[in-house]
Amino acid sequence: AQSVTQLDSQVPVFEEAPVELRCNYSSSVSVYLFWYVQYPNQGLQLLLKYLSGSTLVKGINGFEAEFNKSQTSFHLRKPSVHISDTAEYFCAVSDRDSNYQLIWGAGTKLIIKP
Amino acid sequence: ETGVTQSPTHLIKTRGQQVTLRCSSQSGHNTVSWYQQALGQGPQFIFQYYREEENGRGNFPPRFSGLQFPNYSSELNVNALELDDSALYLCASSFGGGSTDTQYFGPGTRLTVL
């Protein structure tokens, strides 16, 4: 069965520094990949998704992610973070084994230090 | 355009009781998915309703049941509450029951079972 691993539960980073949030999944056969963000006391919001095509996906708020099939990874990156990026970030995967329902990672809290 | 709303925001119940959570989908959406998010974990898929029919179910017991109404709003019912049912319950709506459709999340209902 598909599983999603977000290796870092928390990532502290200084404001204006680059950041990478890591996501690995277990099965690489025909997957769809998603990153969602959860701001405090708000609902989850889609940042970006990979369905097919170019492996570099650009999303909202300056985030991007790269699909790497051989490493079964979909890491999220931003070249320069802002205090407003403080939130929890979730990686999710869907595939045929999950009947195309979303399987979620445990989340990574991005902590921006001034 | 009205977003996804959920009620109530917080709820406290005792073990063995029953609870009903409500979700109003975003205007124009015909699909509602429900998720359970335990503290410190990612969401887990409970079930999805597409045009008033169940369209997929996760690994949850039958005491978790749902409904979708003609206006595409939805209810999640949980019978015989257990302590482990304490969690944030998220509702997401989308247009279409497909795996690639973007889901729009409500802020959630925090259920505490004592």
CB contact under 8 A, A43 and B45: no
CB contact under 8 A, B99 and A44: no
pLDDT tens, residue by residue, A3-45: 999 999 999 999 999 999 999 999 767 899 999 999 988 889 9
Query: B82 to chain A, minimum CA–CA distance in Å?
Result: 22
Task: Give the torsion through C-alpha atoms of A46, B59, B83, B67, to 10 deg.
Answer: 70
* Distance in angstroms (rounded) separating the CA atoms of residues B109 and B27: 20
A45 interfaces chain B, CB cutoff of 8 Å: yes
Res A74: pLDDT: 97
- Give B98's contacts in chain A (Cβ within 8 Å): 100
Residue B50 makes CB contacts below 8 A (sequence gap 6+) with B30, B31, B68, B96, B97
CB contact under 8 A, A32 and B100: yes
- Give B92's contacts in chain A (Cβ within 8 Å): 44
Q: Does the pLDDT of residue B97 top 80, yes or no? A: no
B98 vs A108, residue with greater confidence: A108
CB contact under 8 A, B99 and A101: yes
Q: What is the mean pLDDT of chain A?
A: 93
**What 3-state DSSP class applies to B83?**
helix
A94 interfaces chain B, CB cutoff of 8 Å: yes
pLDDT-above-70 percentage for chain B: 98
Q: Does the pLDDT of residue A76 top 80, yes or no? A: yes
Query: A25 to chain B, minimum CA–CA distance in Å?
Result: 14
Three-state secondary structure string covering chain A: CCCEECCCCEEEEECCCCEEECCEECCCCCCEEEEEEECCCCCEEEEEEECCCCCEEECHHHCEEEEECCCCEEEEEECCCCHHHCEEEEEEEECHHHCCCCEECCCEEEEEEC
CB contact under 8 A, A32 and B43: no
A68 interfaces chain B, CB cutoff of 8 Å: no
A60 interfaces chain B, CB cutoff of 8 Å: no
Q: Does the pLDDT of residue B99 top 90, yes or no? A: no
Res A26: pLDDT: 92
- Give A103's contacts in chain B (Cβ within 8 Å): 45
A43 interfaces chain B, CB cutoff of 8 Å: yes
Q: Does the pLDDT of residue B1 top 80, yes or no? A: no
